Chain A
Amino acid sequence: MTIAATGLSAMRAGRTILYPTDVEIRPGERVGLVGASGSGKSTLGHALVDKLRAQGAHVAHVPQSPDEALDPLRSMAFHWREAERARTLAPDPARQQTLFNALHIEDGDLRKRPWGWSRGMQQRFVIAMALIGTPDLLVMDEPTSALDPVVAAGTIDLLDAHLADRDTALLLITHDLGLAARRVHRLMVMDDGKIVEDSPIKRLLMAPMTPAAKALCAHRNWLELPC
């Protein structure tokens, strides 16, 4: 079933930060949402998650930093149980093992609190929690920016492999077109609270139409910057 939300908008301090926006994502589709800092990407991500949940869809959200998702005073086992309870699922050690294996955190000690795990492992744990019960849509907001490149690349590769044969759609929110270009089928470009361009990744990279998309394309690759 295609995921669709219409009329998403947001205001803050009397100013419109997200103009009315419609989003449609097909099952299993990988969509990138890119734009500069302050363009409204995360606001759209939150509005989309709220609206879809209100419509009864199963949507998981992975924030930029694991600190936003994990309580430093609670054990990792507590977080896992809470995530299962949120989906009204009974504890299932086999499901837990499958997800932990997929994200290479099977050696993590669940009795420890988040700070007993490395940040890379914490972020993978948050992603594993998000994948409990196979969501219709996984929204990831800058999932790699708090991580080292080696850990970040490994995490994204593991997630790619896990999602490969599933119907879970992915919305990847990032300021980095270089990252999105390698991971998504379709790209939405945001500028000043509006989606200004929405097209398949190849077409967007070949022929960006708007100034925001042109700027992102021109600054995509460190070794080929415009003069």
Chain B
Amino acid sequence: MLDVDQVSVRYSSTVTLRDVSLSLAPSRTLAVVGESGAGKSTLINAILGLVPCPTGHVTWDAKPVRKCRPALVMQEPRSAFNPRMSLRRSVKEPLRGRQLDEDRLARLCSGLEIAPDLLDRRPAEVSIGQAQRVGILRALIAAPPLVLFDEPLSALDAVTQKHTARLIAQMQREEGFAALIVTHDLGYAAAFAEEIAVLRAGRIEELTPARAFVDAPQTAYGRTLRDAAFALGAFERVA
């Protein structure tokens, strides 16, 4: 289980995360929403240990989180790969030299609707939607217990977004990983996460079950986000 306990992060004189605490159990999904600059990406970096956290702890099952080798799915699918390497070679990287289990690869490819020959291409030779599905494949290949998604759908078109969201949910049911999804798309968060954490100016403003958030956010800022998503047509009906 992921445990983020009172984490604060500072970049020079600016505090970007303040006393953030949250937890996430296996097979569960937490969406972190908020505006640009709220600290969403910093939270991911803090969990991955990519920025120092002078205060607070991030643990997985009471051990430092890096021991569980969490995986990351990035926002820009094509630039997340080495452009000179075949996708197959990139996908094998998280295994760190261990033998690739071809059966597992075939199973994941079929679940993510990746044609077997697609992996022999380079990132520039596939569509953005395909590249993002391969990004998810790379994240899952070493069977991590925790997968972080940084705006995984924002580069995709509306229909592909929803299709990819469904594939992620299906893979999660099969693999049982905990998913922490950072997104500005409240529609995605409401439809696919169990809980929504609203991050504002580095603080968690509210933490609410997803469907309850759509009906009745607990804070005024939560209502602003919900109403904006409604105005942009992410959902049709709001109580």
Residues of A that sit less than 8 Å from B by CB? 36-38, 119, 144, 148-154, 156-157, 175-182, 215-216, 219-225
Q: Is the interface of B mostly helix, strand, loop or mixed?
A: helix
Return 9 A-B CB contacts under 8 Å, by A number.
A37-B160, A148-B184, A175-B157, A176-B158, A177-B233, A181-B233, A216-B158, A221-B234, A224-B236
Query: Which residue of chain B has its CB nearest to the CB of A215?
Result: B159
Task: Among B36, B127, B234, point to the contact of A222 (Cβ < 8 A).
Answer: B234
Query: Which residue of chain A has its CB nearest to the CB of B35?
Result: A148
Whether A220 contacts B166 by the Cβ 8 Å rule is: no
B130 to chain A, nearest CB (A): 11
B224 at the interface (CB under 8 A from A): yes
Within 8 A of A (CB), among B23-40: 35-36
Task: Among A149, A157, A225, point to the contact of B184 (Cβ < 8 A).
Answer: A149
Chain B contacts for A178, CB-based, 8 A: 158, 187, 232-236
B175 at the interface (CB under 8 A from A): no
A146 to chain B, nearest CB (A): 10
Query: A-B pairs with CB below 8 Å: how many?
Result: 98
Whether A37 contacts B156 by the Cβ 8 Å rule is: yes
Max chain A Cβ within 10 angstroms of own Cβ: one of B158, B185, B187: B158
Chain A contacts for B50, CB-based, 8 A: none
B190 at the interface (CB under 8 A from A): yes
| Cβ contacts B202-216/A at 8 Å (1 or 0 each) | 000000000000100
Q: A152 vs B185: C-alpha distance in the bound complex, in angstroms?
A: 12
Query: Which residue of chain A has its CB nearest to the CB of B163?
Result: A219
Query: Which residue of chain B has its CB nearest to the CB of A183?
Result: B233
Within 8 A of A (CB), among B127-151: 127-129
Q: A105 vs B136: C-alpha distance in the bound complex, in angstroms?
A: 40
Chain B contacts for A152, CB-based, 8 A: 228, 232
Whether B187 contacts A182 by the Cβ 8 Å rule is: no
**Given A36-B159, A175-B159, 11 more pairs with CB closer than 8 A:** A119-B36, A148-B35, A175-B158, A178-B234, A179-B232, A179-B233, A182-B233, A219-B158, A219-B159, A222-B190, A223-B191
Query: Which residue of chain A has its CB nearest to the CB of B230?
Result: A153
